[in-house]
């Protein structure tokens, strides 16, 4: 026993690891921690009471992201390495067009996308299991101060000191919610304010049913609508639950969202659609650890993301999906940002 503990102490003494703080336990923060924890003493702090950030499950339904696409090699490789299984998005059958003058059936051209068996939350769970140290939850980062060789991070719970800090927050939160001493250069502050949080404006709604009646009618569940409240609807069945999901139109007007959604689904699918067993929705605009007031404005197209930015002479590094030059905004972007960071720091 003595020999073993002596050896361990000796090992730590000889190879003292540098301290690395990661702010945010979304996909990017968690994967960065997994990649860097053998070479650095890593601590992850997360403002929410849960990990995953924009990745979020509700009773097995994906209420944040659902899909990965075949060209996204890094996330696909990670999913495989973690031993998770994919299944294709259900697209068999016709789609519906919900027009002001009636509902029309059409045969859409479909692209292949995949979902993770058991829900996208499996990705977060699998990464968390690989961490040497649990994430420090319910700790909001408040300020970063540069001292001689170190950086001091103040959170709502503690004060930390580290050699390096990685912020994986969406850029707008990085400038709105964290104070920097010395301050961020004005140009970087403005640049970050102008980077929208991908999907920060969205409201996602999952409607659970006792059975997938649309499939029996030869429908894929996919619908597009200019009437709303849902602008785009898809099949969202899990292994044991039937469901549809949709994104609420930014210009939709309604008194009660749940009632308006069911009315729309009855218009599309008939009385079967009245028998929803449960409705879940998250307004991501109101998620203060994802979006700022500027994100309420819907995006017309996918922004061109990507930046390389540091502060305190490289001791604070800004990362996260919006920093990725390829597939920025997506899960793939969160993974590639973590991989790029790790290859720089290792
Ligand atoms: C409704 C919706 C649907 C989407 N659909 C898809 C899809 O189908 N496919 C796809 O590829 N992508 C999709 N996305 C995008 C995808 O979710 C993101 O690309 C990815 O999850 C971003 O990961 P991240 O770690 O970079 O950022 P985040 O997940 O935003 O992580 C940032 C973390 O920082 C934490 N944090 C914030 N402020 C603080 C603070 N002050 N102190 C400490 N911690 C803080 C947050 O709580 C969060 O955990 C969707 C997103 C949404 C919202």
Q: How far apart are CA 53 and CA 111, in angstroms?
A: 27
Decide if 127 contacts 22 (C-beta within 8 A).
Answer: no
Choose one of 32, 45, 54, 175 to mutate for the ligand 1 pocket test, by most ligand atoms within 8 angstroms of C-beta.
Answer: 54
Do the two domains 2-56+124-198+304-345 and 66-119+201-286 of this chain adopt the same fold? no
- The count of other CB atoms within 10 Å of the CB of residue 97 is 15
Please enumerate in sequence order all residues whose Cβ is within 8 A of that of 241, keeping only pairs 6 or more positions apart, or say none: 59, 60, 61, 208
For residue 240, with 0-12 CB atoms within 10 Å meaning exposed, 13-18 middle and 19 or more buried, which class applies? exposed
Q: How far apart are CA 264 and CA 258, in angstroms?
A: 10
pLDDT at 3: 30
Choose one of 30, 35, 64, 176 to mutate for the ligand 1 pocket test, by most ligand atoms within 8 angstroms of C-beta.
Answer: 64
Decide if 199 contacts 248 (C-beta within 8 A).
Answer: no
Cα distances (angstroms) measured from residue 252 to each of 81, 125, 267, 313? 41, 35, 16, 46
Taking CA atoms only, the protein residue closest to ligand 1 atom 7 is 65
Residues facing 309 on adjacent strands: 318
Half-sphere exposure of 321 (CA within 13 A, CB side): 26
Q: How far apart are CA 185 and CA 282, in angstroms?
A: 35
Q: Which residues line ligand 1 (CB under 6 A)?
A: 23-29, 45-48, 53-55, 64-67, 140-141, 168-170, 173, 177, 198-199, 202, 204, 284, 289-290, 320-321, 329-334
pLDDT at 14: 55
What are the boundaries of each domain within the chain? 2-56+124-198+304-345, 66-119+201-286
118 in helix, strand or coil? coil
Decide if 41 contacts 19 (C-beta within 8 A).
Answer: yes
**Tens digit of pLDDT at every position of the chain (346 positions):** 223 333 333 334 457 899 999 999 999 999 999 999 999 999 999 999 999 999 999 999 999 999 999 999 999 999 999 999 999 999 999 999 999 999 999 999 878 999 999 999 999 999 999 999 999 999 999 999 999 899 999 999 999 999 999 999 999 999 999 999 999 999 999 999 999 999 999 999 999 999 999 999 999 999 999 999 999 999 999 999 999 999 999 888 888 999 999 999 999 999 999 999 999 999 999 999 999 999 999 898 999 999 999 999 999 999 999 999 999 999 999 999 999 999 999 9
Q: According to CATH, what is the number of the domain 66-119+201-286?
A: 3.90.660.10
Rg (C-alpha) for the chain, rounded Å, is: 22
Alpha-carbon torsion (236, 241, 242, 246), positive or negative: negative
Choose one of 29, 49, 52, 53 to mutate for the ligand 1 pocket test, by most ligand atoms within 8 angstroms of C-beta.
Answer: 53
pLDDT at 88: 97
Taking CA atoms only, the protein residue closest to ligand 1 atom 12 is 330
pLDDT at 252: 81
- The count of other CB atoms within 10 Å of the CB of residue 247 is 17
Alpha helices in 49-185 (DSSP H): 73-81, 121-129, 171-177
Q: Which atom of ligand 1 is nearest to the CA of 142?
A: 41
pTM, to two decimals: 0.95
Q: Which atom of ligand 1 is nearest to the CA of 332?
A: 11
Decide if 78 contacts 31 (C-beta within 8 A).
Answer: yes
Taking CA atoms only, the protein residue closest to ligand 1 atom 1 is 64
CATH topology of domain 2-56+124-198+304-345: FAD/NAD(P)-binding domain (3.50.50)
Q: Which atom of ligand 1 is nearest to the CA of 202?
A: 1
Give the tokens for residue 313: 């002479």
260 in helix, strand or coil? helix
pLDDT at 2: 29
pLDDT at 5: 31
Distance 53 CA to ligand 1 centre (A): 5
pLDDT at 251: 80
Q: How far apart are CA 6 and CA 148, in angstroms?
A: 33
Distance 124 CA to ligand 1 centre (A): 12
Distance 40 CA to ligand 1 centre (A): 24
Choose one of 21, 23, 26 to mutate for the ligand 1 pocket test, by most ligand atoms within 8 angstroms of C-beta.
Answer: 26
**42: preceding bond cis by omega (within 30 degrees):** no
Cα distances (angstroms) measured from residue 324 to each of 62, 74, 142, 202? 23, 13, 24, 21
């Amino acid at each position: 026993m003595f020999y073993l503990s002596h050896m361990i102490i000796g090992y730590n003494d000889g190879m003292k690891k540098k301290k690395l703080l990661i702010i945010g336990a979304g996909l990017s923060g968690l994967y960065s921690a997994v990649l860097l924890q053998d070479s650095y003493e890593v601590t992850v702090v997360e403002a929410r009471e849960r990990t995953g950030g924009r990745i979020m499950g509700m009773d097995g339904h994906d209420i944040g992201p659902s899909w990965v696409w075949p060209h996204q090699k890094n996330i696909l490789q990670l999913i495989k390495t973690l031993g998770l299984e994919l299944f294709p998005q259900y697209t068999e059958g016709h789609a519906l067009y919900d027009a002001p003058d009636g509902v029309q059936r059409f045969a859409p051209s479909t692209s292949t996308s995949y979902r993770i068996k058991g829900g996208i939350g499996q990705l977060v769970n699998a990464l968390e299991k690989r961490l040497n140290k649990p994430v420090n939850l319910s700790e909001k980062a408040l300020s970063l101060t540069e001292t001689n060789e170190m950086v001091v991070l103040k959170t709502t719970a503690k004060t930390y000191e580290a050699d390096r800090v990685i912020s994986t927050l969406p850029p707008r939160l990085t400038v709105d919610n964290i104070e920097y001493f010395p301050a961020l250069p004005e140009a970087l502050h403005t640049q970050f304010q102008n980077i929208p949080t991908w999907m920060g404006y969205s409201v996602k709604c999952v409607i659970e049913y006792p059975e997938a009646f649309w499939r029996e009618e030869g429908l894929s569940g996919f619908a597009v609508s200019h009437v709303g409240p849902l602008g785009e609807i898809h099949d969202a069945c899990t292994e044991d639950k039937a469901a549809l999901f949709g994104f609420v139109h930014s210009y939709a007007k309604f008194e009660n969202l749940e009632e308006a959604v069911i009315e729309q689904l009855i218009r599309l699918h008939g009385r079967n659609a009245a028998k929803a067993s449960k409705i879940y929705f998250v307004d991501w605009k109101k998620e203060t650890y994802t979006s700022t007031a500027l994100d309420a404005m819907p995006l017309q197209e996918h922004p061109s993301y990507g930046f390389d930015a540091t502060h305190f002479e490289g001791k604070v590094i800004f990362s996260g999906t919006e920093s990725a030059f390829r597939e920025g905004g997506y899960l793939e972007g969160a993974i590639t940002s973590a991989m790029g960071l790790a290859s720089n720091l290792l």
